[in-house]
Amino acid sequence: MSSTRREAVHSITALGLAAAASGAVEIPKRPLGKTGLQVSILGLGGARIGMHDDGNLAKDVVKRCYDLGVTYFDAAAAGAYGLSQLRYGIAFKGLRDKVIFGTKTRHRSATQAQLDLDQSLSNLRTDYLDLYQVHNVINDEDIEFIFGPNGVMEMIEKAKKAGKIRFVGFTGHTDPKILNKMLDRYPFATILMPLSAVDGSNSQKSFERETLPLAHKKGIGVIAMKVLSAGQILQKKAATVEECLRYVWSLPIATTIMGMEQLAHVDTNVALAKSVKPMTASERDSLRRRFDELHYAGLEPWKANRYDVPGGLVYRAD
């Protein structure tokens, strides 16, 4: 565990942890857009679960999340995420109807995406997915491929009709304007995007300012990620875990996914979720101002990606 993360864990009061462990207070839930689903405001991100060297501990983390009231579990078919699906499938044997699975495909052709879908269903040990997402939409060409002949959306529409997918969403890291075009292209149920105090203070590219209002207007279920800027906020000691989570939970979102590698991470984040008090507008503005002088490219490398020049990829979203 990093020193900054350890400090954050120790900053949670014994009373808060006791409430989390006892289940005396439930994690608040919010509507996932217009889906009719209610999700816990804290969700588990799949990457860390898949990358964990200790498979038993990874599954213990998953079960701890479930036992303390987390209902939304994020995954994908590629890389470490694929292993997270396997671990979810084992951990939730006999509990499928108690949790909400959101998974993704990074492929753009119907044929390749179908392989991802089949793998996801098998690994998760289920015959349907609550949420299936087109992952990491990056530019106009990407959008045209997604919706073009033999594109991934062709497969998704067929899978929906077959009852294998309940709701469809998409994700993006790089450009709010591209995400807005996606929102206008299809009646998506959800959007997964980076939201944080850093993003909110970024005057050049901000998903909070540019995409969140449109998603909210359309009734889209918003799922937040990169709340800690992949840990950069903690490393720079610019804000605490509690401040970062309170900030994002004060926005019109459904849930935020967090990477949690240790049982202590789960206890800390669950305690914060159960005791959360929304930030006022002035508190959010004050937190945003802390990042005014910091180097955004270092805090949000995913926004610096260039897909039109050689060597332009500085951050890979698996």
pLDDT digits (tens, 9 = 90+) for 149-177: 999 999 999 999 999 999 999 999 999 99
**CA-based torsion, 114, 35, 174, 86: positive or negative:** negative
| pTM: predicted TM-score of the whole model, two decimal places | 0.90
pLDDT at 19 over 60: no
The answer to whether residue 93 sits within a structural domain is yes
The answer to whether residue 261 sits within a structural domain is yes
Alpha carbon distances (Å) from 313 to 69, 83, 85, 302: 37, 25, 27, 9
Structure confidence by residue, pLDDT tens digits, 235-270: 888 899 999 999 999 999 999 999 999 999 999 999
Total count of domains within the chain: 1
Q: What is the CATH number of the domain that holds 80?
A: 3.20.20.100
282-309 mean pLDDT: 79
Rounded CA-CA distance 82/75 in Å is: 7
pLDDT, residue 305, reads 62
Task: Specify the residue for token string 């964990």.
Answer: 52
Judged on CB neighbours under 10 Å (0-12, 13-18, 19+), 166 is middle
The answer to whether residue 117 sits within a structural domain is yes
Instruction: Note whether 42 and 269 are within 8 A (CB).
Output: yes
- Domain housing 89: 3-304
Pairing type for strands 29-31 and 38-40 reads: antiparallel
The answer to whether residue 318 sits within a structural domain is no
The answer to whether residue 310 sits within a structural domain is no
Structure confidence by residue, pLDDT tens digits, 59-70: 999 999 999 999
Q: Which residues pair with 100 in a beta bridge?
A: 72
